């Protein structure tokens, strides 16, 4: 194989195999044309009903069975999920594995396109990954986004980023030990749709006004042309009930799951290791669906999405392959989902970087990009505050 790669002018065997893979897929035109042609499907095992409420159902089994059921075609208003990325973590996080992950995801992409309404949305929370042994990132979540848009015709409505303020400084080797990378604190969230015009309203997810905006509304604002060239008119002084939030969702993943964890510990059930806080699905469910709409989570885990949908009077379906996680998920419905906690307003802030005085002559850059660890006892010297 290595000889064939060299003969073809490819630097590595992986590049040669990738070339063969791309050849087998055919030209871009053929790939575009094949979008509407169904792929050969391997039958998925049946799913069983694990728990039902007046609004929704937990299914135990492969969600592909639900996605391929003809009776579910075009019935879903919102898919919001956090798919597993263990396939990437088991491998080397490189581009080859990004291709493998996309291949694994393709049947789900076809199913999403089948069950989603033309007015509906697909929301995917997906964590990034580091290549083992080096401080560089996998591209798998970006390749997944490109595949969904280019091969399956989804539109990227807007990327969001979930910032978890309570996240530990990881990876520790590159952040704390060798000091060549910064804290990785966000997940990418891809908001996609079948058409460029899914139903949505940001008026459903307004944030409280800042103190400066409240002061402006109270004391008035003089219309003028700002240095940036923007013409701020008198309409800027209108009270709309709240501010439009940014596409950065600041939500700590801590006590929001406390009751669920307590239930799992009391009953001896495993705690799902990759839960997102209820505010993440709540944000998209409120902005993208109406009451009685159908919300689907095909990788449900501990069924956060289903519990939030239940509280918000949406119909819902959660599919989870691991029955043990559904045992714990019952803690979210014991006996009914807890009301979403909105009595306490929580805000987070980030201190600006480069505000701690440092003598650069005494803190040289890490040589060779951190390929070796610094000797023990090496530390930066901080200048005393002025």
CATH number of the domain residue 292 falls in: 3.40.50.150
In a domain, 305, yes or no: yes
Residue 3, both tokens = 């000889």
In a domain, 298, yes or no: yes
**The domain containing residue 313 runs over which residues?**
46-210+241-339
The whole-number pLDDT of residue 228 equals: 62
User: Degrees (nearest 5) of the Cα angle 100, 103, 107?
Assistant: 150
What residues contact 105, with CB distance under 8 A and at least 6 apart? Answer: 83, 144, 147
Would you list the DSSP string of 193-219? ESSS-----GGGGPBPPPHHHHHHHHH
Instruction: Looking at the structure, tell me whether residues 160 and 259 fall in a common domain.
Output: yes
Q: How confident is the model at residue 242 (pLDDT cuts 50, 70, 90)?
A: confident
The string of pLDDT tens digits covering residues 27-47 is 333 444 344 444 566 677 789
Instruction: Looking at the structure, tell me whether residues 312 and 167 fall in a common domain.
Output: yes
What residues contact 235, with CB distance under 8 A and at least 6 apart? Answer: none
The whole-number pLDDT of residue 31 equals: 40
Assess whether 83 carries a catalytic annotation. yes
In a domain, 376, yes or no: no
Number of Cβ atoms within 10 Å of the Cβ of 273: 8
Average pLDDT, stretch 352-356? 91
Catalytic residue among 62, 77, 82, 297: 82
Instruction: Looking at the structure, tell me whether residues 30 and 65 fall in a common domain.
Output: no
Instruction: Looking at the structure, tell me whether residues 78 and 193 fall in a common domain.
Output: yes
Tally of structural domains, the chain: 2
In a domain, 222, yes or no: no
d(C-alpha 183, C-alpha 199), whole Å? 36
Q: What stretches of the chain show up as alpha helix (H) in DSSP?
A: 2-7, 13-25, 28-33, 63-68, 86-89, 95-115, 140-150, 172, 211-219, 258-267, 279-288, 304-311, 323-329
From first CA to last CA, the distance across the chain in angstroms is 64
Assess whether 82 carries a catalytic annotation. yes
The string of pLDDT tens digits covering residues 105-124 is 999 999 999 999 999 999 99
The whole-number pLDDT of residue 347 equals: 80
Query: Exposure pattern of 298-308 as b/e (b: 16+ CB <10 Å)?
Result: bbbbbbbbbbb
Instruction: Looking at the structure, tell me whether residues 26 and 175 fall in a common domain.
Output: no
Catalytic residue among 97, 125, 293, 297: 125
- The DSSP code for 303 is T
Q: Which residue has the higher pLDDT, 213 or 30?
A: 213
The string of pLDDT tens digits covering residues 256-267 is 457 889 999 999
């Amino acid at each position: 194989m290595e000889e064939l790669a060299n003969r073809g002018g490819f630097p590595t065997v992986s590049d040669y195999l990738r070339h063969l893979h791309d050849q087998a897929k055919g030209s871009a035109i053929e790939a575009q044309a094949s979008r509407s042609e169904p792929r050969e499907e391997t039958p998925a095992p049946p799913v069983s009903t694990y728990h039902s409420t007046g609004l929704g159902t937990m299914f135990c089994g492969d969600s592909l069975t639900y996605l391929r059921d003809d009776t579910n075609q075009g019935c879903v208003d919102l898919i919001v999920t956090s798919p597993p990325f263990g396939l990437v973590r088991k491998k080397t996080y490189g581009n080859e594995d990004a291709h493998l992950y996309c291949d694994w995801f393709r049947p789900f992409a076809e199913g999403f396109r089948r069950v989603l309404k033309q007015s509906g949305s697909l929301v995917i929370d997906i964590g990034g990954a580091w290549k083992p042994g080096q401080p560089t990132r996998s591209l798998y979540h970006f390749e997944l986004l490109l595949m969904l848009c280019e091969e399956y015709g989804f539109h990227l409505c807007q990327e969001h980023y979930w910032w978890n303020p309570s996240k530990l400084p990881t990876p520790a080797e590159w952040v704390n030990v060798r000091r060549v990378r910064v804290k990785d604190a966000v997940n990418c969230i891809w908001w996609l749709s079948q058409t460029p015009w899914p139903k949505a309203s940001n008026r459903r997810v307004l944030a409280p006004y800042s103190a400066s905006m409240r002061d402006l509304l109270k004391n008035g604002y003089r219309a003028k042309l700002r240095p940036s060239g923007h013409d701020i008119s008198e309409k800027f002084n209108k009270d709309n009930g709240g501010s439009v939030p940014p596409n950065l969702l600041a939500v700590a993943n801590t006590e929001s799951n406390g009751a669920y964890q307590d239930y799992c510990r009391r009953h001896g059930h495993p705690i799902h290791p990759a839960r997102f806080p209820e505010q993440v699905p709540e944000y998209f469910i409120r902005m993208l669906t109406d009451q009685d709409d159908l919300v689907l989570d095909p990788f449900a885990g501990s069924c956060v999405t289903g519990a939030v949908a239940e509280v918000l009077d949406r119909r819902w379906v959660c599919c989870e392959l691991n029955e043990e996680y559904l045992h714990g998920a019952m803690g979210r419905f014991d006996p009914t989902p807890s009301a979403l906690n909105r009595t306490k307003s929580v805000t987070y802030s980030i201190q600006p970087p480069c505000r701690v005085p440092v003598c650069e002559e005494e803190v040289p850059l890490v040589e060779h990009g951190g390929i070796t660890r610094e000797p023990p006892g090496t530390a930066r010297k901080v200048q005393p505050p002025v």
